[in-house]
């Protein structure tokens, strides 16, 4: 009876573990769909239709028309980077941290720590200009970091 119960628990653990691994795999961001300058340069070229541009880059943030009625699509993407670091120095002796009586039982304790957080933002603005026929005529981009 114990052996059968052990086999059932092992089977259950295997199924649960596989399900969790599948969920974790689905939760990972798809780096192939990231909007980067490399993707723009690889995917865009003159002559593509508007539908092909949407398939490759997604929907634009802004759509405008010039005086002749030609469309220009603007993709404006912002990303934030946050970097945190923590540094500390500590000094301890025999019995350090053992209590607050008699300097930690003749141990000397002290410390100093410093936390640093840096954040920056990056922007990528891409402007795609279409001809009167609705095909890509040209595209430009601007990258910035602050």
**What average pLDDT does the chain have?**
77
**Residue-wise pLDDT tens digits, 46-68:** 999 999 999 999 999 999 999 98
Using CA atoms, how far apart are residues 20 and 4, in angstroms rounded to an integer?
24
Question: Which uninterrupted H or E stretch holds 13?
Answer: helix 2-27
Using CA atoms, how far apart are residues 40 and 74, in angstroms rounded to an integer?
12
Structure tokens at 56: 């490759």
Average pLDDT (22-28) is: 46
Q: How confident is the model at residue 107 (pLDDT cuts 50, 70, 90)?
A: low
Using CA atoms, how far apart are residues 73 and 131, in angstroms rounded to an integer?
12
Using CA atoms, how far apart are residues 91 and 75, in angstroms rounded to an integer?
54
The confidence score (pLDDT) of residue 129 equals 97
Extents of the domains making up the chain: 2-145
């Amino acid at each position: 009876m114990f052996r059968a119960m052990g086999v059932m628990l092992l089977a259950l653990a295997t199924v649960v573990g596989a399900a969790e691994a599948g969920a974790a795999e689905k939760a990972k961001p798809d780096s192939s769909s990231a909007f980067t300058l490399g993707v723009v340069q690889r995917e865009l070229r003159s002559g593509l239709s508007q539908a092909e541009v949407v398939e490759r880059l997604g929907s634009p943030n802004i759509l405008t028309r010039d005086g002749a009625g030609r469309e220009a699509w603007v993709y404006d993407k912002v990303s934030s980077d946050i970097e945190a670091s923590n540094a500390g120095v500590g000094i301890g002796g025999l019995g350090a941290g053992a209590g607050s009586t008699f300097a930690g039982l003749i141990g000397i304790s002290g410390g100093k720590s410093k936390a640093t957080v840096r954040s920056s933002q990056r922007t990528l603005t891409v402007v795609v200009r279409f001809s009167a026929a609705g095909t890509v005529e040209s595209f430009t981009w601007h990258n910035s970091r602050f």
